[in-house]
């Protein structure tokens, strides 16, 4: 039976397609040896799939729980402490909460042995928005780098958590780039009656409020009001805010260098800033990147030397697993990699 084209609603077709995509994303088919049983805003449950080419996962079941604030869910934390198969990721809890011991029954103590620990493949950064009137000269961007350098911020971290934070000279810990040397000056004249900067960050990260407090304290000492603007992640990633600065963090999966380049040139937020608003320069970088005549390391060198992108820290990523777990690891994004994990039988 043929249906006239005029009887098909484009809106209905698009909506139906979007619904199918959302469903496939939440409950994908072809996930390998595990089947997604439940997936919602706080709970992901996967069970071993018996028909995966005659193979079976080492774990019968994997569950991921997400709580907005684990420190406010004592009853759930206690229930996890009784579970001898529970694992904890450092990305799920702020370092201040970790060292405080309030959740030692789940996360353990800083003195405990960890299943794995490595320096993150990425890091925290500041981004100068090219649409702001305050960063149009290199002198102003150098002033920002001097004022909110990782070493200046590190002095304001509590001594208990400083070992977890390593000042960064680039996006990857194996690289080192510096802002181009030269004079620096504040974007605000001394007689300014309203010295104010706005900094955006996404509201789903446990460390950003602490970093914002430190930056506000440092700016206040110079007579500058730093206003924090909390955004949902989608608005933050798309650069949808009228602000002067962006605070962020990023980790890169393997291959790391290639993903650095695609992130710099493909992220809407980064595209607003890394070229200083020079569309011709951005187009040139994209052409060179696709032609493989410029590397990710060269792109980062360009953006950091100009001061538009200012790396801050690399953080030690940590994983605490149950004593009976074997082959437990973190992946580059800081998530639990359970592909080779198995639980040793108890007595």
SS (H, E, C) 299-313: HHHHHHHCCCEEEEE
Indicate the pairing of strand 43-48 with strand 34-39.
antiparallel
- Whether 148 and 167 have beta carbons less than 8 Å apart is answered as no
Q: What is the mean pLDDT of each run of 10 residues along the chain (347 residues)?
A: 37 48 58 80 80 77 68 51 59 69 60 68 94 94 97 94 91 93 88 82 90 97 94 92 95 92 94 90 95 96 96 85 69 69 68
Of 140, 148, 139, 127, the residue nearest 221 (C-alpha): 148
> Residues 6 or more apart from 325 whose CB is under 8 A from it?
85, 87, 115, 341, 342, 343, 344
pLDDT of res. 94 = 72
List residues bridging with 46 in a β-sheet.
36, 62
CA separation, residue 315 to residues 29, 38, 166, 339 (Å): 35, 32, 6, 24
CA dihedral (176, 177, 183, 186) positive or negative? negative
Contact 175, 298 (CB under 8 A): no
Task: Spell out the domains of the chain, with CATH numbers in brackets.
Answer: 30-119+317-343 (3.40.190.10), 122-315 (3.10.105.10)
Kind and range of the H or E run holding 19:
helix 10-26
DSSP state of 180: P
Sign, CA dihedral 267-272-277-280, equals positive
What is the residue whose two structure tokens read 């709580």? 67
Cα–Cα distance for residue pair 29/25, rounded to 1 Å: 9
Cα separation of 18 and 39, whole Å?
18
| CB 143 within 8 Å of CB 136 | no
Please tell me the pTM assigned to this model.
0.78
Are 173 and 312 in contact by the 8 Å Cβ rule? The answer is no
Q: What is the distance between the alpha carbons of residues 284 and 287, in angstroms, rounded to a whole number?
A: 5
Spatial separation of the C-alpha atoms in residues 48 and 28, rounded to whole Å: 14
Residue 239, by phi and psi: left (phi above 0), alpha (psi -120 to 50) or beta? left
How many C-beta atoms lie closer than 10 Å to residue 157's C-beta?
18
């Amino acid at each position: 039976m043929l249906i006239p084209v005029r009887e098909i609603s484009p809106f209905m077709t698009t909506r139906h397609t979007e619904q199918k995509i959302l469903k496939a994303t939440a409950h994908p088919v072809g996930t390998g040896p595990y089947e997604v049983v439940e997936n919602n805003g706080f709970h992901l449950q996967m069970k071993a799939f018996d028909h995966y080419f005659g193979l079976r996962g080492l774990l019968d079941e994997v569950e991921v729980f997400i709580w907005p604030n684990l420190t406010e869910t004592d009853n759930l934390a206690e229930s996890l402490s009784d579970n001898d198969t529970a694992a904890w990721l450092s990305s799920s809890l702020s370092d201040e909460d970790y060292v405080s011991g309030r959740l030692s029954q789940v996360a353990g103590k800083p003195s405990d042995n960890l299943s794995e620990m490595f320096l993150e493949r990425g890091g925290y950064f500041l981004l100068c928005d090219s649409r702001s009137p305050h960063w149009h000269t290199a002198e102003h961007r150098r002033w920002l780098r001097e004022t909110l350098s990782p070493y200046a911020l590190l002095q304001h971290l509590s001594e208990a958590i400083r070992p977890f934070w390593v000042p960064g000279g680039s996006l990857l810990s194996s690289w080192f780039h510096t802002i181009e040397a030269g004079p620096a000056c504040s974007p605000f004249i001394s007689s300014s009656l309203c010295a104010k900067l706005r900094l955006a960050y996404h509201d789903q990260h446990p460390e950003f409020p602490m970093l914002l407090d430190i930056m506000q304290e440092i700016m206040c000492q110079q007579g500058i009001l730093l206003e924090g603007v909390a955004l949902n992640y989608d608005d933050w990633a798309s650069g949808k805010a009228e602000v002067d600065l962006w605070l962020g963090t990023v980790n890169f999966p393997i291959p790391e260098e290639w993903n650095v380049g695609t992130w710099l040139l493909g992220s809407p937020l980064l595209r607003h800033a890394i070229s200083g608003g020079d569309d011709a320069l951005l187009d040139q970088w994209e052409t060179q990147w696709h032609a493989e005549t410029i590397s990710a390391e060269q792109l980062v060198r360009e953006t950091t030397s100009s001061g538009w992108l200012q790396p801050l820290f690399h953080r030690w990523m940590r994983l605490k697993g149950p004593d009976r777990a074997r082959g437990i690891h973190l992946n580059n994004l800081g998530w639990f990699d359970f592909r080779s994990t198995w639980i040793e039988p108890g007595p």
